[in-house]
Amino acid sequence: MSHKEARDPARTPRPSVERRLPRRLERSLSRASGGSASTALEDRICYSFDATDLRGLPDVVVWPRSTEQVAEVIRLAHVEGIPVVPRGAGTGYTGGSVPIDGGIALSLEKMNRIVSIDVRRQVAVVEPGVVNNDLRSEAETLGLFYPPDPASLLVSTIGGNVAECAGGPRTVLYGTTRDYVVGLELVLADGTIVATGLLAEGEGGSGPDAHEVSGWDPGQLFVGSEGTLAVVTKIVLRLSELPEAVATYWAEFPSLSDAARGVAAITATGLPVSVLEILDRETLSSALEYFHGSRPEHVSEGALLIEVEGAREAVEGGAEKLVAVLDECGATNVRRATTHEERDDIWEVRRSISPSLARIASGKINEDIAVPRSSIPDFVERMREVASDLDLAIHAFGHAGDGNLHVNIMVDRSDRAALSRAREAVGRLFEIAIRMGGTLSGEHGIGITKAEHLRLELDDRAIEATERVKRALDRRGILNPDKILSDRANPWWETLEGGDAPEEGTPCS
């Protein structure tokens, strides 16, 4: 079976363990990637999944080390019509780097150099495989700051962050990855190498803050395009100065709705709030138990983690106001971290959420719905109605400061009836969010898992425009096929039910 036939979704079996590339193509890919290609089953398995646990075996994994090698691999794929699935660290929550149609898993992890940090112009040039936290640490040694901070920052890559337009707790003050990308080097679907923004201008170009009107900026089109339009091979990022002061607060509330009202009230103060995270009772209880190693005696119904940062005067001057607002919203047990250790402890509870929830149920369906901040209390009410109506445990936490709620439906994967109710809950919650003027994805992208819901948010004309852009840039449809735009049945639910993943029981599973 040729690869072209293999990608026809109507006729295609899922990529199988047996499938092999023709030997000549294996050899060409190996040459193109400087000898870093493997068709060994153990390698293919290790690059077959992301944080969704959705599976799809690539036919080959390649690890290029330069833009030229990426371009050479893609040129070959273009000629042969083989899918290419770019991959950073595989922490994605929507199946974006899962090769569901087989083909080439293009790992960017070996392109991991911080090329330069220009302190005067406050810009960094990095390769896509640089881990977010490595850039942050390096910038900090120079007194600079890279604000986008997905909770996966110790692992996820800048390339993956750009492709998903990652956000994080600090998005409320600093914005998302998009706000920091000022130049990209890209390899298009036919292997053409293109530079945009500051990279197009070269070293003599203007700084990131210069006002530019020379044509439209094609670079922004690729931020958040999830590897479906081009492979990002170099990124120029704007950096900020480190804030002078940071104050961390923890506040507990008698109800989640009170906490949600607190979010709106705190935002209205105009203080430089950089973090505004909300946790519901169940999330908090599970995170505290994970953190302390024992069940907490008392758990409040809702909590907020708040940080205020910027000039010392603004941070200290706002402290009284913030505590007063928290009081007005009914907060109990408001405390401010006075040492680094106390701050770390508060953050450790927040970071314990994901691993702790994963222990509670064999299936954790995490949707990053976002609604306007003012609608959070309403959304929380509606979410609880859906949970009770469908007899499901649904826990919520998230970056409430920018309306981004992580809604976690907890199910037992062996309970098919519960999975089917969970699927209905996802659909209903998406509809509620869209009716409130929200979005399907605050930060995790669409990938495979949300593709079936895209039409809730985009009308026919918007979908058609998206398809036209895709066709114009990727005539043969080789770049990350069946992501974002797909008529294919959503394979995620099958996976959750313990479907026929070929690699089950193998070394990496």
Ligand X SMILES: Cc1cc2nc3c(=O)[nH]c(=O)nc-3n(C[C@H](O)[C@H](O)[C@H](O)COP(=O)(O)OP(=O)(O)OC[C@H]3O[C@@H](n4cnc5c(N)ncnc54)[C@H](O)[C@@H]3O)c2cc1C
CB–CB of 213/174 below 8 Å? no
Determine, following the binding rule CB under 6 A, whether residue 318 of this chain makes contact with ligand X: no
Determine, following the binding rule CB under 6 A, whether residue 122 of this chain makes contact with ligand X: no
Partners of 182 in beta bridges: none
CB of 11 to ligand X, least distance (A): 24
CB of 397 to ligand X, least distance (A): 11
Q: Following DSSP, what letter does each residue of 28-82 receive, concatenated? A: HHHHHTTT-EE--HHHHHHTSB-TT--B---SEEE---SHHHHHHHHHHHHHHT-
DSSP E strands in 221-330: the ranges are 230-238, 240-241, 245-253, 273-280, 302-310
Binding-site size for ligand X (CB under 6 A) equals: 37
Is the CB of 234 or the CB of 261 nearer to ligand X? 234
The piece of 156-164, 201-209, 270-278, 454-462 that touches ligand X (CB under 6 A) is: 156-164
Is the CB of 108 or the CB of 405 nearer to ligand X? 108
User: Within 10 A of 63 (CB to CB), how many other CB atoms are there?
Assistant: 22
In angstroms, rounded to a whole number, what is the distance separating the alpha carbons of residues 292 and 140?
Answer: 31
Six token digits for residue 461 = 């004309």
Which of 443, 452, 474, 503 touches ligand X by CB under 6 A? 443
Which of 62, 77, 108, 181 touches ligand X by CB under 6 A? 108
CB of 129 to ligand X, least distance (A): 8
DSSP E strands in 337-392: the ranges are 363-370
Run of H or E residues at 173: helix 171-174
Partners of 406 in beta bridges: 368, 397
Determine, following the binding rule CB under 6 A, whether residue 377 of this chain makes contact with ligand X: no
> Distance between terminal CA atoms of the chain?
28
Is the CB of 227 or the CB of 491 nearer to ligand X? 227
Is the CB of 160 or the CB of 183 nearer to ligand X? 160
Determine, following the binding rule CB under 6 A, whether residue 92 of this chain makes contact with ligand X: yes
Determine, following the binding rule CB under 6 A, whether residue 502 of this chain makes contact with ligand X: no
Determine, following the binding rule CB under 6 A, whether residue 150 of this chain makes contact with ligand X: yes
Determine, following the binding rule CB under 6 A, whether residue 91 of this chain makes contact with ligand X: yes
410 φ, ψ (degrees, to nearest 5): -100, 120
Determine, following the binding rule CB under 6 A, whether residue 48 of this chain makes contact with ligand X: no
The piece of 158-166, 284-292, 376-384, 428-436 that touches ligand X (CB under 6 A) is: 158-166
In angstroms, rounded to a whole number, what is the distance separating the alpha carbons of residues 111 and 126?
Answer: 9
- State the binding string over 216-235 for ligand X (x if CB under 6 A, else -): ----------xx---xx---
| Residue type (1 letter), 360 | I
Six token digits for residue 482 = 């069946």
Which of 33, 152, 257, 352 touches ligand X by CB under 6 A? 152
In angstroms, rounded to a whole number, what is the distance separating the alpha carbons of residues 127 and 68?
Answer: 13
Partners of 87 in beta bridges: 107
Which of 167, 363, 377, 438 touches ligand X by CB under 6 A? 167
CB of 101 to ligand X, least distance (A): 13
CA nearest to 456, candidates 482, 437, 430: 430
Determine, following the binding rule CB under 6 A, whether residue 101 of this chain makes contact with ligand X: no
Interaction site with ligand X (CB under 6 A): 50-51, 85-93, 96-97, 108, 128, 150-152, 156-157, 159-161, 163-164, 166-168, 226-227, 231-232, 354, 443-444, 480, 483
